[in-house]
Amino acid sequence: LPVTDTLLKPLLEGLTLKEAIEQKRLFMCDLEILEGLPVRDQFVLCKPIGLFFLDNMKQLRPIAIQLFQKPGPENPIFTPLSPSLTWALVKMWYNNADAAYHQALTHLGLTHLLMEGVTVATHRNLSQSHPIFKLLAPHFLYLIAINSRGLELLVSDNGWVDKTMNFGNKGLFALITKGFNTWRMDVEGTLPEDLKKRGLSDTNILPCYHFRNDALLLYEAIKKYVDSYVNLYYRTTDLLLADYEIQNWAKELVKPRNKSEGGVGILGVPGNGEITSNDQLAQIVTCIIYTCSISHASTNFPQYEEYAFPPNYPGLMRGKPPTDPNATATEREILDCLPDRPTTLDIMIVTKILSAKGTKSIGDFEVQYIFDPQAREIVDEFRSDLNKISKTIKERNIHRNPPYEYLDPEIIPNSISI
């Protein structure tokens, strides 16, 4: 993204590019992973790079967008200095690409489909009386059923994705494959490590990043819960090493995927198929519970508010993206790019259904699996921690505009149940 001081000077509130970088006020989102995906006939999927600036009001705003990866005369950099409707249209094309990434990876691939494999491996290797099965089972509720229904209605040939997204069904699954082949449980699946990788572990950087600020509280509560539970049942390393069920489970998590022989094929699983410490087991279980509850809630439940008004976050864009930062787009041109009325209605109906919570909140389990008195005390402490976090988030939201309510524990389900 070849931006210069001259290009961005009016947008950096008196700072140079170097000063904005040093003050950690510039952020970049590069959707290079979208390169090479199949796309529906007569549709275009951008592969954009976006540059964002944290202004003096502590709000993050876009200041530069390049819609494709290779810079050149036909792929210029757009900024808010472009004509206002042109800039609005460019942001829609950027968000269209972001929506493709969101639905394929952030939502479907790395919560629903990833955790379905974990669910099958858990049922295959751990008996219902196993303590780790009892710990995980509430977080698998309805997952396989909702995936089966979703695959049938939403991501089948000529289904919802084929009608409402530029890359269609084939592009969606190609992107899932790409993302899954680089995703690591010990990095992207472990919130503190994921934030560190992205340069966002310091909460003083980008203070308006409400997801991070709330998710860290929940991650630590889940980690504390899992650590206590694992240490209750594995008081010595010998007990852990001798547990053939848990060791077989670990092997299947890392075993390459094969339709006839099983295997989830997850990279970066602590222990790499042989769990030798309580910390390794706890990290794996924490990742699974976090993904089924916190990660899914944060990516699923905002969908109606994001997608239902297509100019905000269009899953589908028609025509061709703009190529001249000085040309003035018209309202008619923008409307011609957006989905037609039947497609918009399709988007609204499905995202409204997906955004509805129909099961109990995290920590309040539909089915009780844990009856050991000592383990029950650990569950009760987890619930107490969640209540405290709920109060903290409600207090934070008083001062947020708009509020960020998706990670209030009262709203988060235990499982991927919708």
Residue of 260, 239, 128, 105 lying closest to 175 (CA atoms) = 105
Domain edges within the chain: 83-398
CA pseudo-torsion sign 263, 269, 270, 272: positive
Architecture per CATH, 83-398: Up-down Bundle (1.20)
Residue of 70, 67, 58 lying closest to 89 (CA atoms) = 67
Tokens coding 290: 């976090």
Helical H segments across 181-324, by residue range: 191-197, 210-233, 237-242, 244-254, 278-290, 296-300, 303-307
Contacts of 144 (CB under 8 A, 6+ apart): 116, 119, 120
List the pLDDT tens digit at each of the 418 positions of the chain.
Answer: 999 999 999 999 999 999 999 999 999 999 999 999 999 999 999 999 999 999 999 999 999 999 999 999 999 999 999 999 999 999 999 999 999 999 999 999 999 999 999 999 999 999 999 999 999 999 999 999 999 999 999 999 999 999 999 999 999 999 999 999 999 999 999 999 999 999 999 999 999 999 999 999 999 999 999 999 999 999 999 999 999 999 999 999 999 998 888 899 999 999 999 999 999 999 999 999 999 999 999 999 999 999 999 999 999 999 999 999 999 999 999 999 999 999 999 999 999 999 999 899 999 999 999 999 999 999 999 999 999 999 999 999 999 999 999 999 999 999 999 9
Q: Provide the pairing of β-strand 49-54 with 77-78.
A: unpaired
pLDDT, mean over the chain: 97
- Measured between alpha carbons, how far is 91 from 79 in angstroms, rounded to an integer? 10
Q: Which residue has the tokens 């794996």?
A: 284
Per-residue model confidence as pLDDT tens digits over 229-262:
999 999 999 999 999 999 999 999 999 998 888 8
Residue type present at position 396: R
Contacts of 41 (CB under 8 A, 6+ apart): none
A 10 A CB-CB count for 96 gives 27
What is the C-alpha radius of gyration for the chain, rounded to an integer number of angstroms?
A: 23
Distance of CA 88 to the CA centre of its chain: 25
Residue of 135, 147, 222 lying closest to 417 (CA atoms) = 147
Q: What is the pLDDT of residue 405?
A: 97
CA pseudo-torsion sign 197, 203, 207, 211: positive
